[in-house]
């Protein structure tokens, strides 16, 4: 039983970072119909911003702040430079544009900074673990869970209470009608990218604190996981993305923890097979709306 | 003149011009070396540093007049974009460019793709840092390894663990690459053969950010492992190590050359005491220390990975083989290469004679102490202890 509780805590912490990333993807998808595959590169930008701040001898807290701001700025810049010009060209064009942005950023990181990973030392207090009621919980795990909870709460308040937030929810339901109501499309889309940048930045800090280094290609895998989470949760649904992130994490941790040794090589295949099974039962995703499928 | 005749004439003129051009370069007696590497994409962290080392070696050799003092080296570099199909295309381009020796990628798959093209053209090829010992046999008699083989490193690590009196090992591997899978398996094999007990073998996926499930499993093992060995590298190794130490597990951690990176030394307390193997330690007055100085002089920054040094080594070995062959003929170079003994390189010496094209070279053990690298020692394992690939 103890092991089950411990692994649940583990899954919650992992699910938090998945959820943050998936939510970022879903924010943009809900207003633009675009899965931004350059989303992971925002984490990388956070990493390099932190690296340069730390190299300049500034404290870690400032590096975190600068890293998150850099991710937000890059997300908005991405939208302005790459996606706005092709906004009316159809989703396939935008999808390919996002791959192009991702590849261009990879090459820039590799050739202008370094192809080798850059060390990102993390303060020692972040490495330890707390023992709560007999269960180990890492400081980073705890930060991950609390950051996710905090951001989800703040985002919910923003989306329910502020005019811009309500406009964004309306846009996710029906963008053309929302525009007819006099809502500025650029404003809504730009904000969606800014929020996705913020979420990627926070997820980036948490992931970077674990891995201790930043390298040019680090964003690829997390965005893939987030994509699976978004599809699982239901494309177009924000709460679905969060639920998808946690579900994916629970499936992964459970398989890694409890599969017999002989089965371990197949854990990823089993995890994806379970995801497909869930999608067969609910083709529109866990919380997806049928009409959200375009 | 009909259109097709006109085309033929043009093609022949072009071919003749090409022949004249080629003989023109031959008159200058340049020795052409082709490099098909992944300079962008996922292999860039390994192939880019290797290229820097190769270029440094060529600079030094050419400054002394070239191979044997008479034959300057001309390097033709082509990017495979870390794509296996492209690795074959690029290798064919290099063959068409008339290279005499080819250097190929650090990863086994593209190295094989390029290697078979070179093999078919009877051009010797070498992977700068692929460490899978079966690579040369998989391609054929014209393919050579350069880097410390996985089974060699694993043997040194296992012997060290047993000498330290460590009894119970936990091994963490990933089947995503031969390196992360085979090296720990070789370790487990040697560790058990030397009387140790392998308690459990765990698995991970490269890029998996969370190791809490594995760490929780390790905590539940009986007996508790006193040594944990993995060939994981960034970003997996630091994430694993942090979560391991956070859970209060204090077992000795052994790693391989993949973690020889500034990141490992920037991890702080959690990395304290970690022992890892690599291709050499730059002790005072050693050739490797001299190499590091030359590297810094050329590139204006300190060398931060051993892959530049092993790239440099590969080029010195090529030069030694060509000099011993006394010819630029592929078969002659191949035969001379296969008989090289004690070639002095940056990381020590290398011997190919009687080794089936997988060189014997020294393995250094290093310990992380106070964020610095401490030399544990240099080891050349007894061949009888090295597991068959």
pLDDT tens for B311-367 read: 999 999 999 999 999 999 999 999 999 999 999 999 989 999 988 999 988 899 999
Query: How far is the alpha carbon of A242 from chain B, nearest alpha carbon, in Å?
Result: 18
Residue B304 near residue B262 (C-beta atoms within 8 A) = yes
Tell me whether residues A115 and B262 touch, CB distance under 8 A.
no
Query: How far is the alpha carbon of A105 from chain B, nearest alpha carbon, in Å?
Result: 11
Whether the predicted pLDDT of A157 surpasses 50:
yes
Instruction: List the domain boundaries for chain A.
Output: 2-292
Question: Which residues of chain B have a CB within 8 Å of the CB of A136?
Answer: 246-248
Query: How far is the alpha carbon of B118 from chain A, nearest alpha carbon, in Å?
Result: 27
Tell me whether residues B209 and A127 touch, CB distance under 8 A.
no
Say which range, A82-91, B91-100, B110-119, has the weakest mean pLDDT: A82-91
Whether the predicted pLDDT of A185 surpasses 50:
yes
Over the stretch B9-44, which tens digit does the pLDDT of each residue have? Answer: 455 444 444 444 444 444 457 999 999 999 988 899
Q: Which of A279-283, B59-63, B220-224 has the highest mean pLDDT?
A: B59-63
Residue B331 near residue B351 (C-beta atoms within 8 A) = no
Query: How far is the alpha carbon of A118 from chain B, nearest alpha carbon, in Å?
Result: 7
Tell me whether residues A212 and B266 touch, CB distance under 8 A.
yes
Question: Which residues of chain A have a CB within 8 Å of the CB of B49?
Answer: 115-116
Question: Which residues of chain B have a CB within 8 Å of the CB of A129?
Answer: 246-248
Whether the predicted pLDDT of B108 surpasses 80:
yes
Question: Which residues of chain A have a CB within 8 Å of the CB of B301?
Answer: none
SS3 label, residue B75: strand
Given this model, what pLDDT does residue A46 score? 97
Whether the predicted pLDDT of A179 surpasses 50:
yes
Given this model, what pLDDT does residue A10 score? 85
Q: What angle do CA B205, B207, B208 make, to 5 degrees?
A: 60
SS3 label, residue A233: helix
Domains of chain B, CATH where assigned:
7-148+285-358 (3.40.50.2300), 151-278+364-379 (3.40.50.2300)
Torsion of the alpha carbons at A50, A55, A59 and A64, rounded to the nearest 10: 0
Whether the predicted pLDDT of B82 surpasses 80:
yes
Which candidate in A11, A115, A129, A207 is best for mutational testing of the B interface (most B CBs within 10 A)?
Answer: A115
Query: How far is the alpha carbon of A231 from chain B, nearest alpha carbon, in Å?
Result: 20
Given this model, what pLDDT does residue B54 score? 97
Q: Which of A36-45, A249-258, B265-274 has the highest mean pLDDT?
A: A36-45
Average pLDDT, chain A: 89
Given this model, what pLDDT does residue A289 score? 67
Over the stretch A190-208, which tens digit does the pLDDT of each residue have? Answer: 999 999 999 999 999 999 9
Alpha carbon distance B233, B180 (integer Å): 9
Whether the predicted pLDDT of A294 surpasses 80:
no
H-helix segments, chain A? 2-32, 39-55, 60-78, 91-108, 139-161, 163-173, 175-180, 185-211, 220-233, 238-258, 267-281
Tell me whether residues B212 and A141 touch, CB distance under 8 A.
yes
The interface pTM score, or ipTM, of the predicted complex is 0.82
A55–B contact, CB cutoff 8 A: no
Residue A98 buriedness (CB in 10 A; 0-12 / 13-18 / 19+) = buried
A122–B contact, CB cutoff 8 A: yes
Give percent of chain B above pLDDT 90.
71
Average pLDDT of the residues in A241-263: 90
Whether the predicted pLDDT of A292 surpasses 80:
no
SS3 label, residue A228: helix
Given this model, what pLDDT does residue B382 score? 79
Nearest CA in chain B to A116: B45
A291–B contact, CB cutoff 8 A: no
Closest CA to B313 of B52, B136, B37, B112: B52
Which residues 147-206 of A have a C-beta within 8 angstroms of B?
Answer: none
Which candidate in A15, A104, A127 is best for mutational testing of the B interface (most B CBs within 10 A)?
Answer: A127
End-to-end CA distance of chain A: 44
Could you please report the per-residue DSSP string of B329-370? -HHHHHHHHHT--SEEETTEEEB-TTTTT--B--EEEEEEET
Average pLDDT, chain B: 90
Average pLDDT of the residues in A49-69: 95
Whether the predicted pLDDT of A138 surpasses 90:
no
Give me the residues paired with residue B305 across strands: none
Whether the predicted pLDDT of B61 surpasses 60:
yes
Given this model, what pLDDT does residue A290 score? 57
- What are the CA-CA distances from residue B24 to residues B19, B33, B93 (Å)? 8, 17, 20
Whether the predicted pLDDT of A1 surpasses 70:
no
Say which range, A1-15, A123-137, B189-203, has the weakest mean pLDDT: A123-137
Torsion of the alpha carbons at B232, B235, B241 and B247, rounded to the nearest 10: -120
Given this model, what pLDDT does residue B28 score? 53
Question: Which residues of chain A have a CB within 8 Å of the CB of B236?
Answer: 211
DSSP state of B388: P
Fold designation for A2-292: ABC transporter involved in vitamin B12 uptake, BtuC (1.10.3470)
Whether the predicted pLDDT of B272 surpasses 90:
yes
Closest CA to B114 of B73, B144, B75: B144
């Amino acid at each position: 039983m103890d092991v089950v509780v411990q692994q649940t805590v583990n899954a919650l912490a992992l699910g938090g970072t998945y959820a943050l990333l998936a939510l970022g993807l879903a924010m943009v998808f809900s207003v633009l119909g675009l899965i931004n595959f350059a989303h992971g590169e925002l984490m990388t930008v956070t990493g390099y911003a932190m690296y340069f701040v730390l190299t300049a001898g500034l404290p870690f807290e400032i590096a975190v702040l600068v890293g998150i701001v850099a991710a937000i700025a890059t997300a908005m810049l991405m939208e302005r430079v790459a996606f706005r010009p092709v906004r009316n060209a159809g989703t396939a064009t935008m999808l390919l544009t996002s791959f192009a942005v991702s590849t261009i950023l990879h090459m820039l990181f590799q050739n202008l900074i370094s192809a080798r990973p850059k060390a990102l030392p993390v303060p020692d207090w972040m490495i330890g673990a707390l023992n709560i009621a007999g269960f180990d919980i890492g400081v980073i795990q705890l930060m991950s869970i609390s950051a996710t909870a905090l951001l989800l709460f703040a985002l919910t308040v923003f989306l329910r209470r502020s005019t811009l937030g309500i406009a964004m929810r309306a846009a996710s339901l029906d963008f053309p009608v929302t525009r007819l109501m006099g809502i500025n499309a650029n404003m809504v889309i730009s904000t969606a990218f800014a929020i996705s940048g913020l979420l990627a930045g926070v997820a980036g800090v948490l992931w970077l604190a674990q891995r201790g280094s930043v390298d040019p290609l680090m964003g690829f895998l997390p965005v893939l996981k987030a994509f699976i989470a978004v599809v699982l949760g239901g494309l177009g649904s924000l709460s679905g993305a969060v639920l998808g992130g946690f579900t994916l994490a629970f499936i992964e941790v459970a398989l890694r923890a409890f599969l017999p040794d002989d089965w371990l090589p197949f854990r990823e295949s089993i995890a994806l097979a379970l995801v497909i099974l869930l999608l067969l039962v609910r083709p529109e995703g866990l919380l997806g709306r049928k009409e959200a499928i375009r | 003149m009909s259109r097709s005749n006109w085309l033929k004439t043009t093609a022949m003129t072009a071919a003749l011009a090409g022949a004249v051009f080629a003989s023109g370069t031959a008159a200058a007696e340049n020795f052409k070396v082709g490099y098909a590497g992944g300079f962008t994409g996922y292999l860039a962290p390994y192939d880019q540093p290797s290229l820097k080392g190769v270029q440094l070696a060529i600079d030094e050799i050419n400054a002394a007049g070239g191979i044997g003092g008479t034959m300057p080296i001309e390097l033709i570099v082509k990017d495979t974009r870390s794509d296996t199909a492209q690795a074959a295309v690029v290798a064919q381009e290099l063959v068409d460019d008339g290279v005499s020796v080819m250097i190929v990628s650090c990863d086994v798959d593209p190295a094989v793709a390029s290697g078979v093209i070179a093999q078919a053209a009877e051009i010797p090829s070498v992977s700068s840092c692929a460490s899978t010992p079966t690579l040369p046999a998989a391609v054929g008699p014209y393919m050579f390894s350069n880097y410390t083989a996985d089974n060699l490193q694993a043997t040194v690590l296992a012997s060290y663990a047993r000498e330290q009196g460590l009894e119970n090992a936990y091994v963490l591997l990933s089947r995503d690459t031969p390196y992360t899978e085979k090296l720990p398996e070789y370790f487990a094999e040697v560790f058990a053969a030397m009387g140790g007990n392998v308690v459990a073998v765990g698995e991970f996926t490269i890029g998996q950010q969370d190791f809490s499930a594995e760490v929780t499993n390790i905590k539940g093992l009986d007996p508790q492992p006193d040594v944990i060995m993995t060939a994981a590298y960034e970003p997996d190794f630091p994430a694993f190590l942090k979560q391991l130490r956070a859970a209060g597990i204090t077992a000795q951690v052994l790693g391989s050359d993949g973690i020889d990176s500034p990141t490992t030394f920037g991890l702080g307390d959690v990395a304290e005491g970690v022992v890892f193997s690599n291709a050499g330690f730059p002790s005072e007055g050693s050739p490797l220390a001299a190499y590091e100085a030359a590297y810094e002089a050329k590139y204006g920054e300190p060398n931060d990975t051993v892959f530049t040094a092993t790239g440099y080594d590969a080029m010195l070995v090529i030069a030694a083989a060509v000099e011993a062959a006394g010819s630029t003929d592929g078969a002659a170079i191949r035969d001379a290469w296969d008989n090289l003994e004690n070639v002095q390189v940056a990381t020590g010496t290398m011997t190919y004679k009687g080794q089936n094209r997988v060189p014997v070279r020294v393995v250094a053990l290093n310990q992380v102490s106070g964020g610095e690298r401490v030399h544990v020692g240099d080891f050349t394992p007894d061949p009888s202890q090295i597991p068959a690939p």
